[in-house]
Amino acid sequence: MKLTPREISTPRPTMSLTIPEGMAPVEFFNSPANLQNLAQENGLFRTPEDWLMYRKLIGHSSEFDTSIILDTSRRILDPLGRPVRRDQLSRQEKKVWSRMTQIICEYMFEKYPDPKKHLVLCGEASLDSTWPLNKPGVPSIRMIHNHFMVFPYKDLKAADSANPNNVNLTDSGHNTLFLRRLSSIYHEFLEVLDLQLLKQIPSEESALELTGYPQGLPSWELQGGAEKLKDQYFWYEYEQILRGFLDFYQTFFSLVATGDEKIPEDANFPDQIRDVLLNNHQFIRVARDLREQIVLDPKFANEIRWRPAYKQIMYRDQKGRIIVTISQNSVGNAITELLGIVVNRYENVEEYAALEPALVGRLLEARERLIDANLGEAISAPSWPNGEYVATLKTAKKDKS
């Protein structure tokens, strides 16, 4: 079987919202109005901490596809004042986030027990004010969110090969920077993390057998498998990976921006920054090369995200291992593309309608587990025809809202 990224096609319904005249789609989808639509028309579950689980109307997978987002838009009006990363959450927010993630992942692993038949993944992304300021549609939602998806391998195997030079697969061209020119130093820097449950493995061992992705990223295998997601120490280690990434990102782009070789004031691992990064000639040279390219190439300069932007994913591979990896997030790339999966989402009302009952049924099954864990309350306001959903599935009977 040819090792290649795959491009699959997923039907979607007609959008149930109207984009105001004179407003570009990208501007609308990054606006509070879109977030309101997520909650009021596609919301499934909300916690007292404002974690919102919702149906992905324009999703990646028709098998299982949902997200949770920290919807603080009603209580924090300043978009720049909202938490966008795990290290910015309160202790209670972080505790509930970990619990919800563990419960939904547990549901997916139980629903899809055969690792050779289904790819299961959970991906966290920062939705920070990292969009280039002179590009249209600067994100104003600016909240941490988590994706949960399942893909049947038979669909991926049947899919066409994707163009390996697809701008999203290449992180808008930046993966040459991070994954080739900086890969070894990136791996070396993250070796400082004192992890007990997560064991770092070579990049080639973490790649999916079907696509060969992720490429060049530091990866860790969860010792003990999915059962360890219930261990609070796992979530501590999961966050340590993020903290290490933030130090690497901030040190590099601070050097690119100013030319000064300095340790960020809020660094988590300052000694490692000094000893491994700022003493590495390749690290310094790549930063200076990028600095020069930004000065000379306005189009390339327009793609730079100066503040930390990342996607951290946890997935089950075909061997049944739980793998964790983290990547920088450039403009446009989706969570699935870290695994070599490009999704073409096309509008087809009839096709989506045929898939929708089973898809929604699985989302409601997962929601039941959150309800049983007493984490929050069900929401019943999805954007099905006529503005309401007729609960024909057994899993919807307990919906008291």
- Predicted pLDDT of residue 330: 59
Is it the case that residue 389 has pLDDT exceeding 70? no
- Predicted pLDDT of residue 139: 55
pLDDT tens by residue, 272-283: 999 999 999 999
pTM: 0.88
- Predicted pLDDT of residue 134: 54
- Predicted pLDDT of residue 401: 41
Instruction: Give the least confident one: 143-152, 173-182, 370-379, 387-396.
Output: 387-396
Report the 3 state secondary structure along the chain. CCCCCEEEEEEECCCCCCCCCCCCHHHHHCCHHHHHHHHHHHEEEECCCCEEEEECCCCCCCCEEEEEEECCCCCCCCHHHCCCCHHHCCHHHHHHHHHHHHHHHHHHHHHCCCCCCEEEEEEEECCCCCCCCCCCCCCCCCCCEEEEEEEEHHHHHHCEECCCCCCCCCHHHCHHHHHHHCHHHHHHHHCCCCCCCEEEECHHHHCCCCCCCCCCCCEEEECCHHHHHHCHHHHHHHHHHHHHHHHHHHHHHHHHHHCCCCCCCCCCCHHHHHHHHCCCHHHHHHHHHHHHHHHHCHHHHCCCCCCCCEEEEEEECCCCCEEEEEEECCCCCCHHHHHCEEEEEEECHHHHHHHHHHHHHHHHHHHHHHHHCCCCEECCCCCCHHHCCCCCCHHHCCCCC
Mean pLDDT of 112-125: 95
Is it the case that residue 204 has pLDDT exceeding 60? yes
Q: Which residue has the higher pLDDT, 134 or 152?
A: 152
Is it the case that residue 291 has pLDDT exceeding 70? yes
- Predicted pLDDT of residue 275: 95
Instruction: Give the least confident one: 47-56, 72-81, 91-100, 385-394.
Output: 385-394
pLDDT tens by residue, 314-365: 999 999 999 999 887 754 567 898 899 999 999 998 999 899 889 988 999 9
